[in-house]
Amino acid sequence: MTLEEGRFNHELIKNPKRPGLRMQVQVSHEDDREFTVEVTGEDYSLAEIVHHELLDEKNVTFAGVLPPHPLIKKLVMKVRAQRIKPEKAFLGSLERAEATSRDLLEAVTKALNGGSE
């Protein structure tokens, strides 16, 4: 995909576990080493979880979350990487964030059930 073809990519995601809520994702590429992800319809906390995982990736040279406007639910995350495509680093960070969240859910559920599953 060329820079012009992939300049903006929009996708509307429906979450089956949260009917009625929709997340719109827009991806734009600055160049081969940097891209921006804009997510509309989600809380700022989601971006901070992914941001934390991106900072643990050794090939990521910059990962940032722009502060949101108080009236607009729009997250903006920028990723810059070397020796790896920033998209790959971002997807890996999403997978680690999902695994960590799942582990947390299991641990809390176990604790609330008195230590038994």
Residue 117 in any domain: the answer is: no
CATH number at residue 41: 3.30.1360.10
Contacts of 6 (CB under 8 A, 6+ apart): 27, 29
Model confidence, pTM: 0.74
Residues 6-23, mean pLDDT to the nearest whole number: 53
Residue 3 in any domain: the answer is: no
Domain hosting residue 103, numbered range:
9-112
Q: Distance between CA 117 and CA 112 in Å, rounded? A: 9
Burial label, 104 (beta-carbon count in 10 A; 0-12, 13-18, 19+): exposed
pLDDT digits (tens, 9 = 90+) for 62-97: 999 998 888 888 889 999 999 999 999 999 999 999
